[in-house]
């Protein structure tokens, strides 16, 4: 392998790693509740027919109930405007435990 190819490969790998490490999780919301363990895997849901063409399926998610995780079932929701996209809630881990950043319309 030529030194140029090796340099390009190392440069590309460095750029990918810098990108991944430069995007830390968002800070926990004010008044966040921490869970001591990570959430279970997402459940597979049966998506029923939409109540109308203007509805968007918002998938279910795990919510921390204080001592255990509780599943919140997915629902069909009418977006606030025609271009809105649903951002699914996500769980993040930091030194204090696991916390959830809620879903929202973007």
Q: What is the pLDDT along the chain (106 residues), one digit of tens a residue?
A: 565 554 444 544 445 444 444 567 777 777 788 999 999 999 999 999 999 999 999 999 999 998 999 999 999 999 999 999 999 999 999 999 999 999 999 9
CA atoms of 105 and 91, how far apart (whole Å): 17
pLDDT of residue 94: 92
C-alpha 97/C-alpha 94 separation (Å) is 5
Cβ neighbours around 86 below 10 Å, total? 15
What per-residue confidence (pLDDT) applies to 18? 47
Q: Are 64 and 32 in contact (CB under 8 A)?
A: no
The burial of 63, by beta-carbon neighbours within 10 Å (0-12 exposed, 13-18 middle, 19 or more buried), is given as: middle
**pTM summary value:** 0.69
């Amino acid at each position: 392998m030529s030194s140029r190819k090796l340099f390009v490969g190392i440069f590309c790998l460095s750029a990918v790693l810098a990108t991944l490490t430069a995007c830390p999780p968002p800070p926990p919301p004010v008044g966040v509740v921490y869970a001591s363990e990570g959430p279970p895997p997402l459940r597979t849901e049966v998506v029923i027919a939409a109540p109308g063409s203007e509805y968007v399926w918002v998938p279910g998610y795990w919510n921390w109930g204080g001592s255990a995780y509780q599943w919140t079932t997915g629902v069909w929701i009418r977006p606030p405007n025609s271009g809105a996209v649903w951002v699914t809630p996500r769980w993040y881990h930091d030194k204090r435990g696991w916390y959830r950043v809620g879903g929202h319309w973007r």
